[in-house]
A and B are shown apart, each in its own frame.
Chain A
């Protein structure tokens, strides 16, 4: 119990004093996970719409595959990306291993299947008559996709939030491809792991609390943006 109180005090202190390192790590976390969430959304949502709406051979397999991808263990994604980006790997000459860019790549690998699966599910859950109605109004392909996405915007928000949640909270892949380099690839989760291994549990928990605050802030931001859209 003492430890929890101590951690709360430590978190409070770090936030109030605007500790430069913590501030830096928090911003970096926001930037890296924000970028990977954005990229995963750009790829994942259209791909999710496509596999939910298009009719082509092997479509059901793709749905199953993306559903399975939801369970992609971050450490496996990290290992595969590491093997590709290490100097001994096929993309070693790019010099991307142990950079924020490598972390973004690994996080996109983790979040994209999740966003595809959730957004495909969102669109498939729409009432089947809706598709007929839109088609009957004579909508073209793009108008059709736009209207479908509009109808499903709330569950699509959930898809993006799920993708964001998966990358901001994961530690295995970030640790492996980023290397937890101070001032460079150290994010809130990897910093917390380091503090735990150093036996500084108070600081570690403080970092966790800051992470939760960040997630909460972004969830609120997304929800507000979403509801404003809804009212229009």
Chain B
């Protein structure tokens, strides 16, 4: 890390100078490669310096694990134990599964059970393993125009929101949370209210969607971890929680190396085992306790 910063600072100087002299030099240089060519060698040390350290593992995961800060704790732990270098690509669960489906990632950490099962059936993953859970919560404006506060049945709450035509903000990005929301509409025997004037899709991550819902005084569904980690909880309280339908399970799935030979299968399996190791699970179970008074995720392996 320190070494890399050093390389950066040294390399930055000529790069800046080059950029600065760019125009001053060009008049002399109808074949300007002669004067500015050093730019290329200056640039190349960067990627090589990154690659040389241990094996590289591409982890495609959901925004909730990154936005909540969990990965900032877990990933350095794994890197220290194994010497691997983890590249975390935080996207929605749908996009993460898609990266795995094309062999563009080594291992996935996702929370979209139905989509994961379809993914496994295609043979794109191996050894899908349960890691942890938290739960989804329905949050909304403190004024609660649809009067759903304290409801025990989350599907009934969705129906109340629809009946009140209260603004609802959906992720709309095929993420695990988006899938859970669609399941809830189905559980209430309703069609997904796409196109209704009170229903909008943000197409963004959980943190951003919470902000939109807050600003627009609307309801939304969030995983508890992201909600806890985001600010303004008093203006955007949890209204419905604790329903079994709001259960949110995370699985780790190594991408199938037989299908994609480029996959780093050793590190992927190593990461899977790391995620369900006793020590890691205790770190997961304690994450956020000091800051929020309650853990953000609960260890829940097989």
- A residues whose Cβ falls under 8 Å from a Cβ of B: 24, 27-28, 30-31, 33-35, 37-39, 41-42, 45-46, 49, 86-88, 92-93, 95-101, 104, 141-142, 145-146, 149-150, 153, 156-157, 159-160, 164, 179-184, 194, 196-200, 218, 221-222, 225-226, 229
Q: Are B23 and A35 in contact (CB under 8 A)?
A: no
Q: Are A93 and B262 in contact (CB under 8 A)?
A: yes
A25 to B24, CA, bound (A): 28
Q: Which bucket holds chain B's interface residue count?
A: 35 or more
Residue B137 at the chain A interface, CB threshold 8 Å: no
User: A92 to chain B: which residues have CB within 8 Å?
Assistant: 262
- B residues whose Cβ falls under 8 Å from a Cβ of A: 1, 4-5, 8-9, 11-12, 15-16, 18-24, 26-33, 36-37, 39-40, 42-44, 46-47, 50-51, 56, 58, 63, 66-67, 69, 72, 87-90, 102-104, 204-208, 210-211, 229-232, 260, 262
* Residue from B32, B33, B67, B90 in contact with A180 in the complex, judged by beta carbons closer than 8 Å: B90
User: B4 to chain A: which residues have CB within 8 Å?
Assistant: 183-184
* Residue from A98, A145, A200, A225 in contact with B21 in the complex, judged by beta carbons closer than 8 Å: A225
> A30 with B27: in contact, given A38-B36, A101-B43 (CB under 8 Å)?
no
A230 to B191, CA, bound (A): 68
User: B42 to chain A: which residues have CB within 8 Å?
Assistant: 35
Q: Are A146 and B27 in contact (CB under 8 A)?
A: yes
Q: Are A88 and B12 in contact (CB under 8 A)?
A: no
A70 to B9, CA, bound (A): 31
User: B46 to chain A: which residues have CB within 8 Å?
Assistant: 31, 99-101
User: A150 to chain B: which residues have CB within 8 Å?
Assistant: 27
Q: Are A42 and B32 in contact (CB under 8 A)?
A: yes
Q: Are B32 and A30 in contact (CB under 8 A)?
A: no
* Residue from A38, A141, A197 in contact with B18 in the complex, judged by beta carbons closer than 8 Å: A38
* Residue from B20, B40, B50, B58 in contact with A100 in the complex, judged by beta carbons closer than 8 Å: B50
